[in-house]
A and B are shown apart, each in its own frame.
Chain A
């Protein structure tokens, strides 16, 4: 089946630094990938839709200058949290659309900003 690899699985960074999270589709091409944020014991909140070769589409209330998304190839999308602050600490999950209507999720990245 379709596999999405997300790295790193966890990261700790200092406040003010930037962190990059990678999302790769391993055995299929993903023209569209999605980035979610999940707070403890809550549901997934869609942050943005990443489209290969074009600008990402951000959901209302998500700062596009803070959460930079790049989808330069059909198998890789990256999310960079710029100038991270403790309130950015969260669980970030990517997913990729494969085929008609199928969505595969990465294993998530736990970001802790200290």
Chain B
């Protein structure tokens, strides 16, 4: 069975500082990997996804993520955060055959001035 771990429940970062949110997955074959962002009371917006190919994936809003098979990780990064980045971030894993997405528990990002 596939699973996702987001070790950090809550992260606080100063505006303008760099950000890395961790995500580790468990799946036997090559997974589909996603990062979503959720603002309070809202649905999920896709930041980026990895299916195959280049392991460094560029997304919207200046985010990027790197797929590292050897570490079973798909960490999300942003070089300089903005106050508007404050939200809940979810990592998810899927696969072609199953279609289901499995979500991590989320990381809440707080931005301080």
Contacts and interface: CB of A to CB of B under 8 A. Distances in A.
Interface string A22-55: 0000000000101000000111101001000000
A108 B41 contact: yes
A43 B100 contact: no
A23 to B, nearest CB: 11
Residue from B36, B44, B100, B103 having most chain A Cβ neighbours under 10 A: B44
Interface string B38-49: 000111111001
17 contacts: A4-B43, A43-B104, A46-B102, A93-B43, A95-B101, A100-B51, A100-B96, A101-B49, A101-B96, A102-B49, A103-B34, A103-B101, A104-B46, A105-B43, A105-B44, A107-B42, A108-B42
A110 B40 CA distance: 11
A31 B42 CA distance: 24
Nearest to B95: A101
A107 B103 contact: no
Interface of B: 32, 34, 36, 41-46, 49, 51, 90, 94, 96, 99-106, 108
Interface string A11-22: 000000000000
B100 A46 contact: yes
Contacts of B105: 42-43
A42 B106 CA distance: 7
A110 B41 CA distance: 8
Contacts of A75: none
Contacts of A49: 99-100
